[in-house]
Amino acid sequence: MTETLSEQEIHRRDSLQKIRAMGIEPFPAAEFPITATSKSIAASFKDDAPQQDVSLAGRVMSIRIMGKAAFAVLRDGEGDQQIYISRDDIAPGEDKAMYNDFFKKLLDLGDFIGVKGFVFRTRTGEITVHVKELTLLAKSLRPLPTPKTDEEGNVFDAFSDPELRYRMRYVDLVVNPDVKETFLKRARIFDAMRKSFQDAGYIEVDTPVLQVIPGGAAARPFETHHNALDMQFYLRIANELYLKRLIVGGFDGVFEFSRNFRNEGMDRTHNPEFTVMELYVAYKDYLWMMDYIEGVFTAVATAANGTPTATFQGKEIHFKAPFKRITMCGSIQEKTGQNVLDMDERALGELCKKHGIEVTAAMGKGKLIDELFSELVQPELIQPTFVMDFPVEMSPLCKKHREDDRLTERFELFVGGFEVANAYSELNDPIDQRERFEAQLKLMERGDDEAMFIDRDFLRALEYGMPPTSGIGIGMDRLVMLLTDNPAIQEVLLFPQMRPEKFD
């Protein structure tokens, strides 16, 4: 099928052929030397300093032709740099006609060029590169979407449609500089968290993405088939059980930034593919983890924004310790007047219906309590809040509470109205763990497609002995949302999942 081209695309392909006819290669292979960037030029230029010769490269974002000269804006990886081009400098003698044909007619917005010259300040005070040599590095065959403003100040033709932006992130990053800043900040957030763990002596590891048994979380997995082994595999829903195997093996502290996959719904805080950081530390419990992770979040927020305070959707969020602490069942009782821990499934189902929550036969006691909490309490948890002591039915990998065996030593950290982290005093009793897995199997038989599989090798590992351990999983994409003030997880993923695009 022949692709239908716009008039601008036809013009650019025609320009491509004319450039080649002039003896200019529009996609040269040779390296272009770079000695400066837009950022370094702005930082180092001084009016009274000796002439600064530079060589830089980037994408042409604007051109203003003024007779024999022109100003243009070059965008490199660090920002924008104004350049000045004079016909007499880059096309002396008989090459003036080539300058007119190439620069005025055939160079387009979006083209990559390399320039060599010196830095000066214009009469209007703008630091500018006076170009002495210009090299075409890559021809752009599609025009960039550039916003325009009418006489009344209305902006149109901006590249702002979310579906287009997510689908063509490569364009989004070029024309919307704030988007690139989100992902630069994302990198700083990951680096700061990694440094916190490394400074504490914890070891970064890798665990399998393809797993025979999808364990470590209550979630529906993606399935695939391995041809050579002729067997079914699952994309990991969590890396928890592998990291705990390493604690059994003698590591005192391990962490991993894990790409996880869950075959579930999509909304502003859920994407089928996402990143979680999981940390496990031997000889600790969930109370220690709360204290420790407060400091990590304070450090990460400060690294991202220069302060432990972030603005998220118009609300100031303070990541400075200490964070508020509440219990799950206590918070529900405040809203309903009912102690849900003492209620059976039937009574919990009635309480859910009373508050407009749909109830199905697959929902056990833990799921019903979780739905009540999500509906009545969670939306109000804007400031960092540890929600502690979950019912045992909700936590099949977690140690029972030392004071009430109906509960577990678990907390979730909520910020901005959604969960950001989940942590336990890890269950290290292999007999208890086997019973919890078997209870999950019964839920699976009732139709709960998020119930956990039984991992017999993990049970065997526990039987060799695992020391008391605390573990935490942090939703990195959600944390980035909070620290970059983005309302949807798709905004902080470079390439979120979408329906396939239909091409003509």
The CATH number given to whatever domain includes residue 50 is 2.40.50.140
Chain centroid to CA 471: 22
Task: Supply the CATH number for residue 196's domain.
Answer: 3.30.930.10
Whether this model's pTM surpasses 0.85: yes
Is 302 a domain residue?
yes
Are residues 372 and 352 in contact, defined by beta-carbon separation less than 8 angstroms? yes
**Residue 256 shares a structural domain with residue 393:** yes
**Residue 290 shares a structural domain with residue 400:** yes
Q: How far apart are CA 194 and CA 208, in angstroms?
A: 20
Is 360 a domain residue?
no
**Residue 268 shares a structural domain with residue 317:** yes
Note down pLDDT in tens along the chain; length 504 residues: 567 899 999 999 999 999 999 889 999 999 999 999 999 999 999 999 999 999 999 999 999 998 888 999 999 999 999 999 988 887 655 566 666 778 778 999 999 999 999 999 999 999 999 999 999 999 999 999 976 666 676 655 578 899 999 999 999 999 998 999 999 999 999 999 999 999 999 999 999 999 998 888 878 899 999 999 999 999 999 999 999 999 999 999 999 999 999 999 899 999 999 999 999 999 999 999 999 999 999 999 999 999 999 999 999 999 999 999 999 999 999 999 999 999 999 999 999 999 999 999 888 888 999 999 999 999 999 999 999 999 998 888 899 999 999 999 999 999 999 999 999 999 999 999 998 888 888 877 777 766 677 899 999 999 999 999 999 999 999 999 999 999 999 999 999 999 888 876
Is 205 a domain residue?
yes
Domain end among 138, 161, 192: 138
**Residue 401 shares a structural domain with residue 464:** yes
Give residue 29's pLDDT. 95
Domain range for 20 is 7-138
**Residue 91 shares a structural domain with residue 214:** no
**Residue 114 shares a structural domain with residue 209:** no
Give residue 504's pLDDT. 63
**Residue 19 shares a structural domain with residue 129:** yes
Is 346 a domain residue?
no
Which residue, 49, 477, 24, 459, is CA-closest to 271? 477
CB atoms within 10 A of CB 120: 15
**Which helix (H) or strand (E) segment is 184 a member of?**
helix 177-199
Domain end among 83, 117, 138: 138
**Residue 226 shares a structural domain with residue 79:** no
Is 82 a domain residue?
yes
- Residue located via tokens 């948890």: 381
Interstrand relation of 203-204 and 231-235 (parallel, antiparallel or unpaired): unpaired
**Residue 122 shares a structural domain with residue 187:** no
Query: How many domains does the chain divide into?
Result: 2
**Residue 15 shares a structural domain with residue 117:** yes
CB atoms within 10 A of CB 78: 15
Which of 182-187's residues contact partners 24+ apart within 8 Å by CB, and which partners?
A: 182/480, 182/484, 182/486, 182/491, 182/492, 183/492, 183/494, 185/304, 185/305, 185/480, 185/483, 185/484, 186/480, 186/484, 186/492
Is 365 a domain residue?
no
User: For 497, what's the count of Cα atoms within 13 Å in the CB-facing half-sphere?
Assistant: 13
**Residue 25 shares a structural domain with residue 81:** yes
- Report which residue type is found at 393: E
Is 498 a domain residue?
no
Q: How far apart are CA 426 and CA 442, in angstroms?
A: 22
Backbone angles phi, psi at 35, to 5 degrees: -110, -10
Is 475 a domain residue?
yes
Per-residue tokens: 13: 């392909």
**Residue 120 shares a structural domain with residue 195:** no
